[in-house]
Amino acid sequence: MMWHALHAEWLKLWRLRMYRVILVLGIVLSCLWVGFMLYLMERGAPHVQEEVTRQLALPGAYLQGFMLAA
């Protein structure tokens, strides 16, 4: 009986740890992807600039993003 309770508690902690790892990994990968896109845009890759402008919802957000980054 004690073994089942201990095992259940260990599983809860393991799931919480995996949830945190996946969450942090997702945030880090998202930041790396945004940084890579900005790097490519700064280097002047035209297809990346077109893709980013196409994905932005607001027409002025593209220019506003550069104004905020400057």
Task: Return the closest-CA partner of residue 61 out of 52, 48, 70.
Answer: 52
Task: Determine the Cα–Cα distance for residues 34 and 48; give it in Å rounded to an integer.
Answer: 12
Beta strands of 13-65 (E only): which ranges? none
What's the full length of the chain, in residues?
Answer: 70
Per-residue pLDDT of the chain (70 residues; tens, 9 = 90+): 677 777 888 888 888 888 888 999 989 988 888 888 788 777 777 777 777 776 665 556 666 666 666 5
- Could you tell me the pTM of the whole model? 0.52
